[in-house]
Amino acid sequence: MATLFQVLGAVTSFSVSNSNGYLLPSQRSISERKASIFVVRSDARVSQVLNTGARKNELLITNAVATKENSSAASTSSKPGHELLLFEALREGLEEEMDRDPSVCVMGEDVGHYGGSYKVSKGLATKFGDLRVLDTPIAENSFTGMGIGAAMTGLRPIVEGMNMGFLLLAFNQISNNCGMLHYTSGGQFKIPIVIRGPGGVGRQLGAEHSQRLESYFQSIPGIQMVACSTPYNAKGLMKAAIRSDNPVILFEHVLLYNLKERIPDEEYVLSLEEAEMVRPGEHVTILTYSRMRYHVMQAAKTLVNKGYDPEVIDIRSLKPFDLFTIGNSVKKTHHVLIVEECMRTGGIGASLTAAITENFNDYLDAPIVCLSSQDVPTPYAGTLEEWTVVQPSQIVTAVEQLCK
């Protein structure tokens, strides 16, 4: 296997790291600002997918205007480009990078001719061959370590975890090797690897298949983490992660794979360290990411009709946080609500609360409110599963109380 990696790619030039252990990029990336229906658009109609608890959300107003004119959340159906589902956008970004750079390869369980559990790698084995799209045994610790070794020899591997919960079996490789080897080798090795896969709650997959592992990995030095929420940012973040010389963990959500959106025909690459302004507002800053972005936007419809003007930010970069965008919003609204699917204890919301308090406490007119999933294993029963995660009605109530 070592011979295989040596044939496919040679060791590339080393990069200088900063004080945080991250590699400094040679060029700045191009910066761009459980229902039965699973194929939806990323505009207001997405509520059809997320409204699994009709009895709890029946008081929500669903036909109100949740976005302002010219906002980034506006429908793109009239714009040029092509429509893709989120998993297709991930595949398109992956395929473009494999065409552009022969050192890019894919490995994981069933990623080859089967096309991956969620078809992100469908067709790639036929196009690029079994050496660049490598089916592996069910051994996450082994093939994640193999991917790290491949990155050390000059390749740019994408390691797919069939489910994010399975990557706990590879935690030693990700922590002690993936995140640290650039530093512990004195810069002699870089680890340009992407670790990606599905996670999250919402399809009655049981506790072990409904993991949100953002909080598990956020404390590892040298790792960057991003979470996609739309087909547009899924493709842009995938391409940016592959090109990065840092190890990147890309979090995907099982309920968003069939989200549809029109994306540009021309090539684009997003920044791995920038948040997205989803809806500008004046009264409260709502920080969220992944699936909760759509719960927030559903709640925003009701809030607008109640006279509130929420500013919604998809933080997107889970490590490091985009404190520039977040800080400017806090200085404007003076109120912060964090909505996440991660666990409350030690979750992304806890880290984000600490960062905002440390940097922008003087601008706050009220304590930060954080809505998180309950600290319980995710139940299999759909009704119980729904109770463990934040619902739009809770977001509406939290904003009303925060802005009193």
Conformational region of residue 249, where left means phi above 0, alpha means psi within -120 to 50, and beta covers everything else = beta
Please name the helix (run of DSSP H) or strand (run of DSSP E) that holds residue 392, with its range, or none.
Answer: helix 392-402
> In terms of DSSP H, where are the helices of 52-161?
54-57, 86-100, 124-128, 140-152
Task: Give the whole-angstrom CA distance, residue 287 versus residue 294.
Answer: 12
Task: Give the whole-angstrom CA distance, residue 82 versus residue 92.
Answer: 12
Q: Indicate which residue of 109, 140, 160, 311 is catalytic.
A: 140
Of 254, 231, 253, 259, the closest CA to residue 39 belongs to: 259
What 3-state DSSP class applies to 69? coil
Known catalytic membership, residue 140:
yes
Matching residue, tokens 């997205």: 276
Other Cβ atoms within 10 Å of 63 Cβ, number = 8
Token pair, residue 133, equals: 């799209």
Amino acid at site 373: S
Other Cβ atoms within 10 Å of 277 Cβ, number = 18
Q: Indicate which residue of 92, 160, 182, 209 is catalytic.
A: 209
Q: Which residues are catalytic?
A: 140, 209
